Structure 1
Amino acid sequence: MQRLLVVDDDDTVRGLLADALRYVGYDVTAVATGADALDAARHDPPDLVVLDVMLPGLDGFDVIRRLRAATEHVPVLFLSARDDYADKVNGLTLGGDDYVTKPFHLPELIARIEAILRRAGGGPGDGTLSVADLTLDPTTREVTRGGRPVRLSPTEFRLLRYLMERAGQVVSKPQILEDVWHYDFAGDTSIVDTYVSYLRRKVDAGEPKLIHTLHRVGFVLRGPRR
Structure 2
Amino acid sequence: MKILVVEDDKTTGPYVAAGLREEGHTVDLLANGREGLVQAAAADYDVLVLDRMLPDLDGLSLIKTLRGAGNRTPAIMLTAVSGVNDRIEGLEAGADDYLVKPFAFGELSARVAALARRPGLQQQETRLCVGDLEMDLVQHKVTRAGQEIPLLPREFTLLEHLLRRKGRVQTRTMLLEAVWDITFDPQTNVVETHISRLRAKVDRPFDNELIETVRGAGYRIAVA
Q: Percent identity among equivalent residues?
A: 41
Task: Give, in angstroms, the shift of residue 56 of structure 1.
Answer: 1.6
- Alignment-derived partner of residue 77 in structure 1: 76
How many angstroms apart in 1 are the aligned matches of 2:26 and 2:17? Answer: 9
SS at match of 1:11: coil
How many angstroms apart in 1 are the aligned matches of 2:110 and 2:88? Answer: 21
**Structure 2 counterpart of 1:67, one-letter code:** L
- Alignment-derived partner of residue 93 in structure 2: 94
SS at match of 2:53: coil
Q: C-alpha deviations, 1:120-156, integer Å up to 9, x for none?
A: 3599xxxxxxxxxxxxxxxxxxxxxxxxxxxxxxxxx
Task: Give, in angstroms, the shift of residue 70 of structure 1.
Answer: 2.0
- Alignment-derived partner of residue 179 in structure 1: none
How many angstroms apart in 1 are the aligned matches of 2:74 and 2:98? Answer: 12
Deviates most, 69-78 or 110-119: 69-78
- Alignment-derived partner of residue 111 in structure 2: 112
**Structure 2 counterpart of 1:114, one-letter code:** A
- Alignment-derived partner of residue 14 in structure 2: 15
1:121-136 mapped onto 2 (5 Å cutoff): none
Q: After TM superposition, which residue ranges in structure 1, 4 or more long, deviate above 3 angstroms?
A: 120-123
Q: C-alpha deviations, 1:42-75, integer Å up to 9, x for none?
A: 2212111100001122111000011112243111
Matched pairs, number: 124
Task: Check conservation: 2:73, 2:120, Cα contact below 8 A.
Answer: no
SS at match of 2:56: coil
How many angstroms apart in 2 are the aligned matches of 1:59 and 1:120? Answer: 27
- Alignment-derived partner of residue 50 in structure 2: 51
SS at match of 2:90: helix
**Structure 1 counterpart of 2:46, one-letter code:** D
Please report the TM-score for the alignment, with normalisation by the length of structure 2.
0.52
Task: Give, in angstroms, the shift of residue 12 of structure 1.
Answer: 1.1
| Alignment RMSD | 2.2
Task: Check conservation: 1:8, 1:55, Cα contact below 8 A.
Answer: yes
1:1-226 mapped onto 2 (5 Å cutoff): 2-120=1-119
**Structure 2 counterpart of 1:116, one-letter code:** L
Where structure 1 has 5 or more consecutive residues not aligned to the other structure, the ranges are 124-226
SS at match of 1:104: coil
- Alignment-derived partner of residue 211 in structure 2: none
**Structure 2 counterpart of 1:40, one-letter code:** Q
Task: Check conservation: 2:33, 2:57, Cα contact below 8 A.
Answer: yes
SS at match of 2:11: helix
How many angstroms apart in 1 are the aligned matches of 2:71 and 2:50? Answer: 17
Where structure 2 has 5 or more consecutive residues not aligned to the other structure, the ranges are 123-224
Task: Check conservation: 1:75, 1:120, Cα contact below 8 A.
Answer: no
